[in-house]
Amino acid sequence: RRVIYFSRHGESMANVTGKIGGDTHLSPQGKLYAKKLPDLLHHIMTSKRDSQSLHVWTSTLKRTQETTEFFGARVVARKAWKELDEIDAGICDMMTYEEVEQKFPEDAHLRDQDKFNFRYRSGESYADVTARVKIVLNAAEEWFAAHPRHGASLVIVSHQAVLRCVFALLMGDVAQEEVPYIKVPLHTVMRVEWIKGPGIVKEEKFHV
Ligand code: G3H
C-alpha cells in the first residue's frame, strides 16, 4: 500500500492575473493556504495514522517552495525537482489565454483540437510532461521501498498540468484526450492511496 499527499501550489500572482506559467510569488490568498497547510496535513495524517515526518518534494519554482515554507521542523527531507515544474508554455509563457488567441490564433486552435499532444513553441506538451513525471514516480517507487509506511510521509507540491499527468499515470485507465482536463482544484490536499497495479486507486480530497 502506497500513500502520497499531493497539492498544487497556493494561488500565485500569475493565477490572479490570468497568466500562463511564469515564476511568480504566491498571492495573499495563496500565502494564506501555505499558512494553513501544515495544520491541515497534521489533521489528516493524525486521522489516517500516517507519519507526521515529512519528506517534501516540490518543483524548482517559487510558488511551490513558498507553499511549503511553513512546515517547520516536521520536514526531515526536502527535494526540488525540475521534473515537477509546470508545463513549459514556451513563447506563450506569462501571456493570458486571450493574448495567445490574438497573437497565435492557429496555436490556440491546434491546442483546442488536441490538447494532450499540442506542444507550445519552444515549450512542452502534456505528452512531454507525462514522460518527465514518470521519472518522479519511479523515484517515488524507490522511496516507498526505502521508507516503511509509518516512518515518513511523502508530500508532493507541484502544478496543475503536472498533477493531471501524475494522476492519469497513477489511475492508469485515463484516455489521453481526457488528461489535460482532469480537475485538480486549488487549495486542496489530495491523499492518494493505491496498490500496485492500474485502477486500484483511492483518492480523497481535503479543503482548507
Ligand atoms: O499554466 C498552466 C496550467 O496549469 C495548465 O493549464 O489547462 O491551459 O493546460 P491548461
* Ligand 1 atom index nearest CA of 14: 1
* Ligand 1 atom index nearest CA of 160: 4
**Could you read off the pLDDT of 177-197 as tens digits, one per residue?**
999 999 999 999 999 998 766
Distance CA 84, CA 161 (A): 10
On whether ipTM exceeds 0.85, the answer is yes
- Between the CA of 161 and the centroid of ligand 1 the distance, in Å, is 6
- Between the CA of 163 and the centroid of ligand 1 the distance, in Å, is 11
Sheet holding 201-207, edge to edge: 75-81, 54-59, 153-158, 2-8, 188-194, 201-207
> Please, which residues have CB within 8 angstroms of residue 166's CB and are 6 or more apart in sequence?
6, 133, 136, 137, 156, 158
Give the closest residue to 14 by CA, choosing from 140, 116, 159, 134.
159
Spell out which residues line ligand 1, taking CB within 6 angstroms: 20-21, 86-87, 159-161, 180
**Could you read off the pLDDT of 139-181 as tens digits, one per residue?**
999 999 998 777 899 999 999 999 999 999 998 889 999 999 9
Between strands 54-59 and 201-207, the pairing is unpaired
pTM beyond 0.80 = yes
Most informative mutation of 114, 157, 160 for ligand 1 (most atoms within 8 A of CB) = 160
**Could you read off the pLDDT of 6-32 as tens digits, one per residue?**
999 999 999 999 999 999 999 999 999
Give the closest residue to 120 by CA, choosing from 2, 6, 15, 21.
21
What pLDDT shows up at residue 18?
97
How far apart are the two ends of the chain, measured CA to CA in Å? 26
What pLDDT shows up at residue 196?
64
Residue 71 confidence (pLDDT) above 90: yes
Q: Which three cell numbers stand for residue 108?
A: 490556440
Residue 74 confidence (pLDDT) above 70: yes
What pLDDT shows up at residue 1?
72
Residue with cell 490564433: 105
* Position 200 confidence tier, pLDDT thresholds 50, 70, 90: low
